[in-house]
Structure 1
Amino acid sequence: MNKVVVPSNRIRNRVLSLGAAVLSMLPGGRRSSTPRNILVLRLGNLGDMIVAMPAFRALRRRFPDARITLLTSPTRRGMPGAVELLENDPLFDEIIVYYIDESSRMRFLHGLSRRIAGGGIDLAVAVPNHLTRFSHLAKYELLLAWSGVRRFAGFQMVEPADYELRQVDRLLKLLSPLGINRAAIPFPWLTPAQEDENSAERLLASTEGRVRIAMHCGAKRPANRWAPESFIEVGRCLIAEDNACIVLTGSPDEREMTARIAAELGEHVINLAGQTPIGILEAVLRRCAVALSNDTGVMHVAYAMGTPTVAIFSARFHPNIWYPYGDRQIVLRKRIECELCDKDICPMYGYPKCLELISPDEVLQAVRSFLRP
């Protein structure tokens, strides 16, 4: 087995802390013991945003009267992120979106600086993930200070001990200097619009009388994709023996795969791939008895809606960090000699052998543990 070697960022974090301390002493700018205008920095797609929801809500509870702005990027254009996820949630007063391809342009940075200065930001809170680079955090410390911000929180890179924490807990820990504790945030974390609830009811109308089991068989990274044939085997057993209706979810790009799975499963399956914008997806998953998913953004949506979740994880990355949160979740992951490769495509076998080690019988047993408690 690969030995887990996590580099220390202790020196980089000291530099970031010292930088924040020095920048806070610059003349001018805005200082307030009770912040009135807060800027939160968080990058990423669905999963990245969902694991940050407890931190977002804790910050709102701590400063209920502040105007809070989220500065975010869903990385690539066209990818869903905070705007789609929080469309019906008054958590933030404003969301500023940018894209990776423009983040290094001086014109963009100058415009962002003017916008921050005009917004009277007096507290900047970084909520970084495990991939956030030192250069990114340092750049924004300087940009924010140039824009008049004099108080900073959360500008820290991951340390080895952080790999023992789930993302939710680590992000809440970053906010502890602001007097925020790690109090549990009850599910659901997301709020579909009533229109989305109505759409979900219409889409699922034909499933009445059967136990709805959501299956998300795709994933952005090939190394995270359990074999479609294995999903089919599990689905067949659930339909035949557990009175299940399989609800297939997926992106428009995954329609061909889900159509093949639906054809193999036959009756008592509904294929919703490409038909569920984020709000409708939330409402659909809330109406399912269990969600079975690869390690992908939809898995995070499922548990965030309070749906019991069975998550299938490859061994490409560290365990625990991205696992679903809560006490109604089961994670299936196998150790292997090449684990922690952090590759999108398996470099040794050409296919995710670590996922092949997870049998349909194991997955079926996990799903049934929620159906037959």
Structure 2
Amino acid sequence: MIRKVNRVIQDFLRPIRLEIGKMIWDRKEKKSLELLQGDRVDMKKIKSILFLRYDGKIGDMVINTLLFREVKKVYPDIKIGVVGRGAAKDIIKFNPYVDEIYEYEKGKESSLGKRVRAEGYDVVIDFSEMLRVNQMKLINLCGGKINIGLDKVNWKLFDLSYKKSYDKHITDMYKNILRLLEIENPDLTYDIYSDEVVKNRIDGIVKNIDGDIVILNPYAASKHRSFNREKILEISKRVLKDEKNVLLFIGEPSKKVEIDGIIEKLNSNRVFYPELKGILDVAELISHAKYIVTPDTSIVHIAVAKGIPMTAVYRLDTEDNNSKVWGPNSKIAKQIFSKDVAKTGEEADINKFEVEEIGL
């Protein structure tokens, strides 16, 4: 009851906080109109671009890599900086198209903004659909000469705005951003780079595996988007029907007890839960796989980046077209859907699908 009351209070206060925050931070000291050419950036005058990806979403960062590469291909001398957070930063740790990576910490926007401002970025690009107050503050403090944002036509803080279509893949939105930077017909593939340490560590794991690697990622951030124990066992048994397949589980260390219990139940010498040290280990392991099975998570986009066939499981779309906007967008990926329909005030269960639909 206390939690519900608190949620109601926060829902009431949120728009008030946002309105006050906008009153304070929705402004620019100077409009650098000389860097614009109509409704686009005059790229002949641009020396640096900062991408704000402070939400910590790994899958989003994977898709963002197409922007860094496509900008560098056309404008190789432009400095590219990226503000990132948590494991998402590791996705670009060895990316040759990124020159500078900045750590985002909530509550430390002032120090980060001061550092970025001192480096004098010409263009700052934000991806937020709804800006929170601390994010407004950061963008303001970064001091970009040109600020670009999503659906920010009526904001003083932003000089250019781009749109997102909710009936097209998210890469269509990135094409809209690149158009503002005078880049047409971009390559929309993603990049993930590792170093030799990561590659050698994963090589050490896979060299002892005799068979075709099938990776099962059972878990998502939400329990409603994660496979339950019964479904994990069903999928595993389907994979193991083919004696050439070796099943590898991936999942956070917090899931080790549950995965170990499932492996014990399967009672097979063709099932493993390798110890991985981070998201780059996961990405490198995926590059060795024959096939991936995963719910709607960052693993979908990593598998696309690595060119690995997969079955990606989604819940039925409601109004957001999630499976279309954030789906794999790959000819070698198969999407299947849970048949569960959410009741009012509840979330749909992703486990209501038949394992025979998996494209192994």
TM-score normalised by structure 2 residue count:
0.77
2:273 to 263, 271, 274: 271
Count of residue correspondences: 317
User: Using CA pairs below 8 Å that are at least 6 residues apart, which structure has the higher relative contact order?
Assistant: 1
CA deviation vs aligned residue, 1:93-130 (integer Å, no higher than 9, x gap): 11111123x15xxxx42x3343223212122222x154
Change beyond 3 A, Cα 1:243–1:61:
same
1:213, CA displacement in angstroms?
Answer: 0.2
Asked if structure 2 preserves the Cα contact closer than 8 Å seen for 1:20 and 1:152, the reply is no
Identity percentage over the alignment? 16
Question: Would the aligned equivalents of 1:226 and 1:312 in 2 still touch at CA under 8 Å?
Answer: no
Cα offset, 1:225, TM superposition: 0.8
CA shift digits 1:131-164 (9 cap, x unpaired): x4275665455334xx3x3223344369996111
Please, which of 83, 88, 95 is the counterpart of residue 94 of structure 2?
88
Compute the displacement of 1:24 (Å).
Answer: 2.0
Match of 2:119 in 1: 119
Q: Confirm whether residue 330 of structure 1 aligns to residue 331 of structure 2.
A: no
Say yes or no: does 1:214 pair with 2:215. Answer: yes
SS in structure 1 of the partner of residue 324 of structure 2? coil
- Per the alignment, residue 51 of structure 2 pairs with 40
Residue deviations 1:275-322 (CA, integer Å, cap 9, x gap): 242222122111100111112222322222111121111247633122
Alignment of 1:194-209 (within 5 A): 194-208=196-210
Match of 1:256 in 2: 257
Alignment CA distance shift 1:240-1:338 (3 Å): closer
For residues 80-229 of structure 1, the aligned pairs below 5 Å read 80-82=87-89, 84-100=90-106, 102-103=107-108, 108-109=109-110, 111-126=111-126, 128-130=127-129, 132-133=130-131, 138-144=136-142, 147=143, 149-156=144-151, 162-186=165-189, 189-208=191-210, 210-229=211-230
Gap change, CA 1:97 and 1:247, over 3 Å in 2: same
Superposition pairs of residues 53-64 of structure 1, within 5 angstroms: 53-64=65-76
How far 1:261 moved relative to its partner? Answer: 2.1
Corresponding residue for residue 9 of structure 1 = none
Give 1:200 deviation, angstroms: 1.2
Structure 2 runs not aligned, ≥5 long:
1-18, 35-41, 153-160
1:181 CA displacement: 2.7
Question: Offset at 1:334?
Answer: 3.7
Q: Which one of the candidate residues 321, 325, 338 is aligned to 1:321?
A: 325
Amino acid at match of 1:156: D
Give the distance between the partners of 2:92 and 2:306, measured in 1 at CA: 13
2 CA distance for matches of 1:200 and 1:245?
16
Against the structure 1 CA distance between its residues 191 and 112, is the aligned structure 2 distance closer, same or farther, given a 3 Å change threshold? closer
The Cα shift of 1:326 comes to: 2.1
Amino acid of the residue matched to residue 120 of structure 2? G
- CA shift in 2, pair 1:353/1:186, >3 Å: closer
Aligned to 1:68: 80
Cα gap change, 1:162/1:242 in structure 2, threshold over 3 Å: closer, same or farther?
farther
2-side partners of 1:297 and 1:114: how far apart? Answer: 31
Give the 3-state SS of the residue equivalent to 2:334 in structure 1: strand
For 1:231, give the aligned amino acid. I
Alignment RMSD: 3.1
Structure 1 136/328 Cα, relative in aligned 2: closer, same or farther at 3 Å? farther
Residue 7 of structure 1 corresponds to none
Shift of 1:254: 1.3
Unaligned runs of 5+ in 1: 1-11, 342-346, 369-373
Alpha carbons 2:217, 2:250 under 8 Å: kept: yes
8 Å CA contact 2:104, 2:112 repeated in 1: no
